[in-house]
Amino acid sequence: MSYWFGGGGDANAAVDGNPINTLVFGVLILAATLVLLQRHLNWGAFIQNNKAVCLIYLFFAVSAAWSPLGLVSLKRVIKDFGCVLVALVLLTENDPVAAIRTVFVRVSYLIFPLSVLAIKYYPDIGRNYSVDGGAMATGLTTQKNSLGEIVLVLGLVTLWDLLEMRRENNSGELRTKIRIRYGMLLMGIWLLATCDSVTSIICSLLGLFVLWGGGRLVQMRNGRRVLVYCFIVAACLVGLNGTFGISDAILHAVGRDPTLTDRTYIWQAILDQKTDPLVGFGFYSFWDSEFGRNVNIAMRTEGLNEAHNGYLETFVDGGVVGEGLLVVLLLAVGARSIRRLFDGSLFGRMAFAFWLIAIFSDISEVNFFRLGAIWFTFLLLAIECPGRLPVAAGESAFFTNESAANQVTGV
């Protein structure tokens, strides 16, 4: 919010924190905590059901002990854990499926039309320039990739909401709401094309494919086996890529830079700093240190504050230990998402889609443990909320006890 009042992003502000942002995040985290206490959330059950999430956040909190910016690092862990608390507020609603859809769609009502308006008629707000001087459409965000990310997330959830609504009674009021959502999706398509964020476009196509193919997969007699075959093929392609350069050929074919806009050079410059390979540099403190400045000097740039690779960023923050905990987290969430996928609900397909999107998008961007739309949605759809929540028929994924869910919903 500091940007709304002309706040900058200089190095000192990044370390010391902006008082406006600190106040806003503090109020949101406190409000979420009070709501969860009022709803008597079983914190012990939450930790038990989400051990991988809690363990990696605990490790990053402890990493503040060896970070050269210990207090700053700890504050950033707490701020990022606020995503979990806000996600739990939605998941403890009487109807969490409706709550998630409502919040995301209402946000899209603001972001989509106002971004279109800003890009077309208010370029001082809706357009910006990249480091190399190229023009980019940013809408209500500050960077084209940020716009692409939020359009990706809001667009997929709006599509989910639309598909759910089409299952309901076809009343006149409902038809109007459906038309509005079609309009929002058209705006989202225009924004994606205009901002030209390749990662967001590819992830959008991936999400659409999962929504379309997921329903057909669960109807197959051997759907789980087919999914395993898909994973094996994907793993083989990744292995062959190192030998035959498949990704480079694809990037050349679509007219893109094989260095991913100099990202590969950034990765090498970061690795050249040789941070502690076992436990890392400490959570989110590398870029405010001398090592981060060395990377900016090597790249002959200023203001670079991320590795543009979520896996490398996690390695820098937490070393091999942090990377291992991230793998455990992704495997745990993946297993949960696959289980939810084969529940047959649209929620299950969305959970599986955002698991894949998080894995793929972090090849060229940093979303893991960074405040953003993809990371928040990933957590929201991955967390197992303790207790039995009243949900719509067929949405058994929110139940901790799957057998109890089946008894309640009659599945």
> Is residue 126 included in any domain, yes or no?
yes
> Is residue 108 included in any domain, yes or no?
yes
Residue 355: what residue type?
W
> Is residue 111 included in any domain, yes or no?
yes
> Tell me: the pLDDT tens digits for 324-362?
999 999 999 999 999 999 988 899 999 999 999 999 999
Domains contained in the chain, number = 1
> Is residue 121 included in any domain, yes or no?
yes
> Is residue 289 included in any domain, yes or no?
no
Count of beta carbons in the 10 Å neighbourhood of residue 363:
15
Q: Is the pLDDT of residue 130 over 80?
A: no
Q: Is the pLDDT of residue 409 over 50?
A: no
Q: What is the mean pLDDT of residues 94-121?
A: 95
- Which residues partner with 129 through β-bridges? 135
Q: What is the mean pLDDT of residues 151-167?
A: 93
CB of 55 closer than 8 Å to CB of 273: no
**Measuring CA to CA, which residue among 355, 351, 353 is closest to residue 329?**
355
* Residue-number span of the structural domain to which 188 is assigned: 93-196
Using left for φ > 0, alpha for ψ between -120 and 50, and beta otherwise, residue 317 falls in: alpha
Q: Give the per-residue pLDDT at 47.
A: 93
> Is residue 190 included in any domain, yes or no?
yes
DSSP tally for the chain: helices H, then strands E:
18, 2
Q: What is the mean pLDDT of residues 109-117?
A: 96
How far is residue 241's CA from residue 304's CA, in Å, rounded to a whole number? 28
> Is residue 163 included in any domain, yes or no?
yes
**Measuring CA to CA, which residue among 288, 317, 362 is closest to residue 9?**
288
What would the two tokens of residue 192 be?
């994606």
> Is residue 358 included in any domain, yes or no?
no
